[in-house]
């Protein structure tokens, strides 16, 4: 059985394997000849105070012990196996399909959008021409919202399933093995498309199917069980098991379920703005002035506070990142952030969002499943109007926002469609604006230098999670009322990022396999 040892080194020592091994052996009170193998198992930065340190967890195997190497992915040929319909090719859908190959089930994936290569044209159209394709955008298409929004793989959802397995699958399909070690693993938007394509190829090579431009438009329920699905308002396909992994922005699915009298529920979500600083400023703040250290990566931050009874916190922080337009309809604007693998852009951006529950909203009505969704839509449309009814977004410098002044000019922004000066106190509902103003002042007290007029607020950051929950049986993972229908991932309210969504996809397939 291997032995774990915790050590700390300085940033410039983190690549010196000989030094690291000697330090670990000294800590473990072992001689070099006593071990047969070793590795760095976990790595994290401790920048809470000077000197900045790299914390390492070292795994040691003694003589006579062997490091096990188990293949992370072992598919079967499922061409003639029992089929499972998977609606959506985001992390939940793709991982469900991959797990189906292992379990001896045939995954048939229906994705409303395009493959990763074809999606790029529609993303360019949003950025350059302000034209939104409602079926192919930053949210819809192969890989889902995660493909073109960074690929951050950090999750706190350790109890939901095997996080290591999910990460190992990413490595198997082309991700850098460092994601298995880093405390906050990150792939990068520039590298994700190739990995996603490799997953799709594996699904097809082993007998599964992947269909693009294939939108779920209806479903048939008989005797309280799913029996068939309709694609593109045309063709019906019989299925006894359907995984609904459509993502947090597929509003048409919520409306479809409600129209079919299939239960859905409003659930808490978060909404606010995306804030952009210069990355050099964040580096200087977080690294205590040691911001030119070539051995340290671009710095991130995590912030949280309570304002008037509601939580306000940073979300999806992107060091060296870019703010992207993530609307799924022409009459709305939405922002999100992403980073390339090297995180080498000059900007740092993060969502700063207010946690909102149905009862917090002014139009709350008990039993209304759309109360949070309607609030989300209202904010997005108000921002679209304030931005000139294009994909430009209303923006304001941070201190100007807090003090109620219109910003007369702006530093350069990474948001390609452009920004329009506006008073976000008038654009955003008071429920949000009043709490955001207090939160920014508090964050400035927590991180000296964060509260600055060089920071620009882009509104809104509104697709943090699904505003609707699709209820399911916690034991079978089927819909509470419909046998064979498996609400899955972020869109159903059971995940909060790439890895948790991927794990939920695996869990849904495992639940189906138990019935076989």
Which among 200, 246, 152 has a CA at the least distance from the CA of 489? 246
| Burial class of residue 325 in the structure, from the number of CB atoms within 10 Å of its CB (0-12 exposed, 13-18 middle, 19+ buried) | buried
Tell me the C-alpha to C-alpha distance, in Å, between residue 164 and each of 144, 170, 173: 21, 10, 14
Return the DSSP state at 465: S
Query: Phi and psi of 497, rounded to 5°?
Result: 165, 180
Write out 248-269 in H/E/C secondary structure: CCCHHHHHHHHHCCCCCEECCE
Tell me the C-alpha to C-alpha distance, in Å, between residue 331 and each of 135, 334, 379, 384: 14, 10, 11, 6
Residues 480, 471 contacting (CB under 8 angstroms):
yes
Q: Which residues pair with 152 in a beta bridge?
A: 186
Question: Which pLDDT score, from 0 to 100, does residue 149 have?
Answer: 63
Q: Which residues pair with 322 in a beta bridge?
A: 338
Question: Which pLDDT score, from 0 to 100, does residue 76 have?
Answer: 97
**What is the pLDDT tens value at each position of the chain, 516 positions in all?**
899 999 999 999 999 999 999 999 999 999 999 999 999 999 999 999 899 999 999 999 999 998 888 889 999 999 999 999 999 999 999 999 999 999 999 999 999 999 999 999 999 999 999 999 999 999 999 999 877 766 677 766 555 668 888 999 999 999 999 999 998 888 887 888 899 999 999 999 999 999 999 999 999 999 999 999 999 999 999 999 999 999 999 999 999 999 999 999 999 999 999 999 999 999 999 999 887 889 999 999 999 999 999 999 999 999 999 999 999 999 999 999 988 888 889 999 999 999 999 999 998 999 999 999 999 999 999 999 999 999 999 999 999 999 999 999 999 999 999 999 999 999 999 999 999 999 999 999 999 999 999 999 999 999 999 999 999 999 999 999 999 999 999 999 999 889 999 999 999 999 999 987
Which among 127, 369, 349, 86 has a CA at the least distance from the CA of 237? 86
Question: Which pLDDT score, from 0 to 100, does residue 288 have?
Answer: 92
Question: Which pLDDT score, from 0 to 100, does residue 158 have?
Answer: 57
Digit-coded pLDDT (tens) for 133-157 = 999 999 999 999 877 766 677 766 5
* Token representation of residue 446: 């927590």
Q: State whether residue 96 is helix, strand or coil.
A: helix
Strands of the sheet containing 3-9, edge to edge, are 3-9, 53-62, 35-46
Write out 270-315 in H/E/C secondary structure: EEEEEEEEEHHHHHHHHCCCCCCCCCCCCCCCCCEEEECCEEEEEE
Question: Which pLDDT score, from 0 to 100, does residue 185 have?
Answer: 85
Tell me the C-alpha to C-alpha distance, in Å, between residue 488 and each of 150, 161, 474: 21, 14, 12
* Token representation of residue 192: 């994700």
* Token representation of residue 219: 């479903």
Question: Which pLDDT score, from 0 to 100, does residue 435 have?
Answer: 98
Residues sharing a CB contact under 8 Å with residue 409, sequence separation 6 or more, in sequence order: none
Residues sharing a CB contact under 8 Å with residue 450, sequence separation 6 or more, in sequence order: 277, 285, 301, 303, 443, 444
| Burial class of residue 271 in the structure, from the number of CB atoms within 10 Å of its CB (0-12 exposed, 13-18 middle, 19+ buried) | buried
Question: Which pLDDT score, from 0 to 100, does residue 189 have?
Answer: 78
Residues sharing a CB contact under 8 Å with residue 492, sequence separation 6 or more, in sequence order: 244, 245, 466, 469, 470, 472
Residues 334, 381 contacting (CB under 8 angstroms):
no
Which among 422, 384, 415 has a CA at the least distance from the CA of 275? 415
Strands of the sheet containing 216-222, edge to edge, are 216-222, 225-231, 235-238
Sign of CA dihedral 329, 492, 176, 76: negative
């Amino acid at each position: 059985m291997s032995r774990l040892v915790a050590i700390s080194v300085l940033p410039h020592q983190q690549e010196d394997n000989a030094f690291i091994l000697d330090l670990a052996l000294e800590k473990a009170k072992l001689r070099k000849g006593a071990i047969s193998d070793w590795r760095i198992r976990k790595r994290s930065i401790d920048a809470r105070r000077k000197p900045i340190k790299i914390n390492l967890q070292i795994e040691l195997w003694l003589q006579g012990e062997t490091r096990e190497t188990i293949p992370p992915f072992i598919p079967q040929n499922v061409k003639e196996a029992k089929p499972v319909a998977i609606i959506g090719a985001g992390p939940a859908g793709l991982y469900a399909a991959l797990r189906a190959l292992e379990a001896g089930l045939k995954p048939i994936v229906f994705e409303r959008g395009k493959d990763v290569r074809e999606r790029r044209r529609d993303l360019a159209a949003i950025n350059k021409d302000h034209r939104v394709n409602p079926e192919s955008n930053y949210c819809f298409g192969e890989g889902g919202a995660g493909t073109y929004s960074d690929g951050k793989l950090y999750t706190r959802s350790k109890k939901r399933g095997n996080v290591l397995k999910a990460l190992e699958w990413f490595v198997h399909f082309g991700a850098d093995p460092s994601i298995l070690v880093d405390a906050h693993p990150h792939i990068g938007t520039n590298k994700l498309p190739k990995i996603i394509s490799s997953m799709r190829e594996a699904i097809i090579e082993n007998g599964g199917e992947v269909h693009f431009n294939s939108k779920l438009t209806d479903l048939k329920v008989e005797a309280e069980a799913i029996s068939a699905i309709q694609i593109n308002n045309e063709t019906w396909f019989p299925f006894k098991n359907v995984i609904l992994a459509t993502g947090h922005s597929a509003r048409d699915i919520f409306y479809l379920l409600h129209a079919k009298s299939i239960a859905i529920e409003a659930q808490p979500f978060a909404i606010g703005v995306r804030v952009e600083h210069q990355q050099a400023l964040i580096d200087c703040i977080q690294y205590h002035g040691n911001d030119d250290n070539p051995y340290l990566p671009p710095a991130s931050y995590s912030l949280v506070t309570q304002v008037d009874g509601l939580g306000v916190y940073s979300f999806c922080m992107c060091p060296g990142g870019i703010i992207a337009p993530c609307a799924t309809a022409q009459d709305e604007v939405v922002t999100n952030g992403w980073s390339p693998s090297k995180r080498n852009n000059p900007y740092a951006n993060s969502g700063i969002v207010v946690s909102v529950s149905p009862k917090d909203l002014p139009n709350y009505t008990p039993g209304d499943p759309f109360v949070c969704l309607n609030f989300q839509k209202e904010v997005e449309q108000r921002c679209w109007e304030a931005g000139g009814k294009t994909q430009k977004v209303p923006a304001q410098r941070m201190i100007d926002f807090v003090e109620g002044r219109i910003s007369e000019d702006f530093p350069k922004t990474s948001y390609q469609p452009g920004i329009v000066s506006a008073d976000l106190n008038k654009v955003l509902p008071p429920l949000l604006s009043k709490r955001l103003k207090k939160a920014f002042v508090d964050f400035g007290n927590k991180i000296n230098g964060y509260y600055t007029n060089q920071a620009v607020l882009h509104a809104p950051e509104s697709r943090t999670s699904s505003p609707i929950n699709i209820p399911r049986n916690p034991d079978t993972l089927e819909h509470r009322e419909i046998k064979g229908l498996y609400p899955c991932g972020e869109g159903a309210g059971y995940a909060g990022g790439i890895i948790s969504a991927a794990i939920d996809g695996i869990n849904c397939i495992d639940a189906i396999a138990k019935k076989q």
